[in-house]
Every structure is written in C-alpha cells, then in structure tokens.
Amino acid sequence: MSFNPLAEKGIPVEQQFRSWKMLNVKPYDARNVDPYTRTRVICMNGIEVESIMFSHQFARHCGDMDVRRKLAMARAVEQQQQKAVNWLIPGEESTLEVTLGYEQVAVDLTAWLARTEPDPKVRMALEFALLEDFDHLYMYANLYDLLEGKKAEQITHDLTEIIPGRPTALHHRPPQDRVLEPVDFKVADPLSMMHIMTIVAAEQQTMNFYMNVGNRPTEPLARALYLEIAQVEEEHVTHYESLIDPSKSWFERNVMHQYHECYMYYSFMIHESVPYIKDIWELHLQQEIGQLHVACDLMKQHERKDPAEMLPAELPEPIKFQENKDFVREVLAKQVHLEKSGAGYKPIWDLPADASFHDFQRILHGDFVPSYETIGKNIEKNGKDYRLQTEGEHPVKAFRDRDAVPRAEGVIAHRDDLSGKAKSEAEVV
C-alpha cells in the first residue's frame, strides 16, 4: 500500500486548533495497555518535541516576518499535538515505570531500524548503541526490583528480554569519539533519512526526560543511576545527530521535519491496536500533511526549489514496534566488546593502553560506579539480579551468572568465545 503525503490534501493549518477538552485526552489504561502502544506514545512525543524545537531554532535564525509567522502558526499546532500525545500517558505510571517504557522504545525501535536499514554505516551506528539502551533497560529493571520489589515485565510484558547488554560503565567514552561522519542525503536511501531523523528525536527525548526527572528520586543510588544513564543519552544524541547531512538549508529541513512527522503518524496509525489512539494518529497525519504543504510552499517561494525532488514518490517502509529478541541476541554476541575509535569501532582489547578512553573512564568512575552498584545491591537483596530471559542462556558466557555483577572484565573474557577473525577485527564497516 503506497502513500504519498504530497499528493494528499490534509487539513489546512488554520483549521487545526483544538479545544482544551479535545486535547485533555483520556490516558491509556496503565494496567492493560499493549506495551507497544506505550512505546508509540513515548516515541511520538519525542518526534513532536524535536519538530517544535527545530521550528524555534529556525525562527531565531530568520528575519523574514512572513516566514516567522507561518512557523509560529504551525508550531502552535505542533504544541497541541505534543500535548494530545504526551497526555496519553497515565498519572498512575510512576517515573520509573515510564522510564522502563522509554528504554523499551530505545531497544525495539533501534532494533527495528537496524534490521531494515539499507546503509551499512547507519546500521552499524544503530547496532552499536542498541546494546547500550538494552543494558539501560536491565539497569532500571533492577532498580525497580531493588526499590519497589516490582518486576519490569509488568510494564514491558515478555516482548523484550531484560538481560545484561554492553555494561553501562563502558558507555562513557571521550566526547570527540562520539562523532560520526555525516550521511549525504542527496544520494541516501529515503529510508535512511527517516531512520536517522527518528532515532535522533527518540534519543533526544530520552535525554531531555532524564535531564528533568533524574533528580526526582529521593534514594541516592537512584539519583546516581539516572545521572549516569542521562550522560549516556547525551552521547547517543551526539552519535546519531552527527549522521545528519549538514548541508541542508533551513527551508529544506523544515520540509523534512514535516515529511518525517507524516511518515511517523502513518506508521503508527497502521499498527495501532487501541481504536481511539489510532484516531489520534490519523487526525495528526492529516494535520501534518497540511503543515507539509506550508513548508513546501515556503521552500518553493524562498529557494526556488521543488521539494518533490528531494522526497520519494511514496512513504518509505513504515516503522513497526515488534519483538526483536533473536536479533538483539545476535548483535550482543557479535558486538558486545566494541568501543569507539575515532569515527569508527574497535574491539575494546585493541584500544592502546594510553587511549583517552581509559583516562576518561578513570575520571568519571573513581571508586563509585552507580550502574555496578545498582546490580550489586539487588543481588545482595535477592541473591540474584532481575532478568527476563525468555530465549535461553545469555549469549555472552561471562554474563550467565545471576549472582555476579556483569562488568567490563566479562566483555574482555568474551574474546575467548569469538572466532579468530572477530577477535582481531570488528565485524563492522
């Protein structure tokens, strides 16, 4: 089924405003919701936030009053959309429960994007960071068990395994090593552009969320864990946003943002299981089409360029939240030991002894690593860590013991389990 937003009429922007009553939506049912409805809501909120902040930045860099007014108009609607989406999250869910939803987004969104990504460099970037958010889910699940005695699978169900990933302690690498080479959007597959824009917005939302809620717990260890993981999300935003083609103009980017929102609402509309939420996705899709037409007109008028030339004739393959257990396990077995090296990747044992990675790790960790401490304390309390392991033993031998904290040493021990080729060179591009 093909869909081209440029060929649709949509709703004109002037007709898009809604009353408080319409915006103050009924939250989803916290106890019975499909976890992938929650992840769609969390993800789409991030897409709207990115769209709003982009529009503010554009307006601050633009002196043309007509353009500023048109941006203000669309942006006020984007804000309404953001409220209607984010207000779907029920107050019954605690901050930590919403956090588990955020990391489930990160795992199953990233895994889907990686599986369907045509550009090997983009795919590698996704697989690399996938293993980190996968460990964050394990961390917060253990914190949830430790502080509240509750099981994360009440939130995530059995759709996503919760087992150790690349240990969070290893995610902290020198900021200059987080930057990747940009992708040339002129020649890139449109699907890659959609994937990059999606993952940047999702990671940025996670970063913003932890920046704001990370100080809400009273328990010092919980505050410390949010602090540590929040810093990784900064890293993930830097990692992914560096893939964006920097040569695009503000007007082109405006079109791409509106086109991307059409793509996301279309993707979620076709997969949504809750009827009244499906209706919201559908309404917002029609609104985005109207906003896209305004953005296209601005680009034609101010740059004398046809937006249809940089956009595909139909929406690329839609994004889908689904189980990715085997895929995540495969990436874990092949890549748990990778680290960044310049703009590329290397097995951790190939980093030289004087690599800045080691200095950076020493400065941050000192004698207290919140992520190690969280698992250690939960093992002390329950005799073993919390896991939701549905597909057999852990793919990394060193991480099979439930009564030992998964540490950097386990990653290094993984070397013995790799074939000769994988030992010495990263299976990467």
How many Å apart are CA 133 and CA 199, to the nearest integer? 12
Q: How many residues does the chain have?
A: 429
Distance in Å, CB of 110 to Fe ion, minimum:
8
* Dist. CA 239–CA 236, nearest whole Å: 5
Which of 50, 117, 133, 145 touches Fe ion (CB under 5 A)?
133
Query: Binding pattern to Fe ion, positions 41-70, x when CB under 5 A?
Result: -------x--x-------------------
Query: Measured between alpha carbons, how far is residue 153 from residues 230, 383, 387 in Å?
Result: 23, 19, 9
Euclidean distance between CA atoms 118 and 196, whole angstroms: 12
Among all chains, which residue has been given the structure tokens 């396990």? Answer: 329
Mark the segment that binds Fe ion (CB under 5 A) among 62-70, 127-135, 180-188, 307-315. 127-135
Are the C-beta atoms of residues 32 and 295 closer than 8 Å to each other?
no
Minimum CB separation from Fe ion for residue 360, in Å?
A: 18
81 is a site residue for Fe ion (CB under 5 A): yes
- Looking at 5, 40, 71, 78, which residue binds Fe ion (CB under 5 A)? 78
Q: Shortest distance, CB of residue 81 to Fe ion, whole angstroms? A: 4
Tell me how far, at minimum, the Cβ of 51 lies from Fe ion, in Å.
5
- Contact between 261 and Fe ion by CB under 5 A: the answer reads yes
291 near Fe ion, judged by CB under 5 A: yes
Q: Which of residues 400-429 bind Fe ion (CB under 5 A)?
A: none
Q: Which stretch binds Fe ion (CB under 5 A): 106-114, 157-165, 347-355, 357-365?
A: 106-114
Dihedral of alpha carbons 189, 191, 196, 197, sign = positive
How far is the C-alpha of 211 from the C-alpha of 394, rounded, in Å? 32
Decide: is 228 part of the binding site for Fe ion (CB under 5 A): no
Where on the phi/psi map is residue 410: left (φ > 0), alpha (ψ -120 to 50), or beta? alpha
- How far is the C-alpha of 97 from the C-alpha of 341, rounded, in Å? 35
Is residue 346 within the footprint of Fe ion (CB under 5 A)?
A: no
Choose one: 145-153, 198-206, 310-318, 416-424; the region binding Fe ion (CB under 5 A).
198-206
Q: Which of 123, 136, 340, 387 binds Fe ion (CB under 5 A)?
A: 136
| Closer by beta carbon to Fe ion, 99 or else 378 | 99
Beta bridge partner(s), residue 341:
344
User: Phi, psi at residue 341, to the nearest 5°?
Assistant: -145, 105
Q: Which stretch binds Fe ion (CB under 5 A): 217-225, 233-241, 369-377, 410-418?
A: 233-241
For residue 124, the SS3 value is helix
- 285 to each of 247, 261, 372, how far by Cα in Å? 28, 8, 43
Taking the least distance from each CB to Fe ion, the nearer of 145 and 235 is 235
Tell me the Cα Rg of the chain.
22
Using the contact rule CB under 5 A, the part of the chain among 16-24, 60-68, 253-261, 385-393 near Fe ion is 253-261
| Whole-number Å distance between alpha carbons of 156 and 100 | 7
Nearer CB in complex with Fe ion: 140/357:
140
101, 44 contact by CB (below 8 A): no
What residues have CB less than 8 Å from 277, skipping those under 6 apart? 28, 37, 40, 41, 88
**Site map (CB under 5 A) of Fe ion, residues 153-192, x = contact:** ----------------------------------------
Cα 77 to chain center, whole Å? 24
Residue whose CB is less far from Fe ion, 45 or 291: 291
Does the protein bind Fe ion through residue 108 (CB under 5 A)? no
Q: Which two tokens stand for residue 247?
A: 């040569």
* Binding residue (CB under 5 A) for Fe ion from 236, 239, 293, 414: 236
Is 137 or 355 the residue whose CB approaches Fe ion more closely? 137
User: Residue 47 or residue 159: which is nearer to Fe ion going by CB?
Assistant: 47
Name the one range near Fe ion by CB under 5 A: 28-36, 37-45, 192-200, 255-263. 255-263
Whichever of 269 and 355 has its CB closer to Fe ion, that residue is 269
Q: For 264, how many CA atoms within 13 A lie in the half-sphere containing its CB?
A: 33
What is the binding site for Fe ion (CB under 5 A)?
48, 51, 78, 81, 106, 133, 136, 203, 233, 236, 258, 261, 288, 291
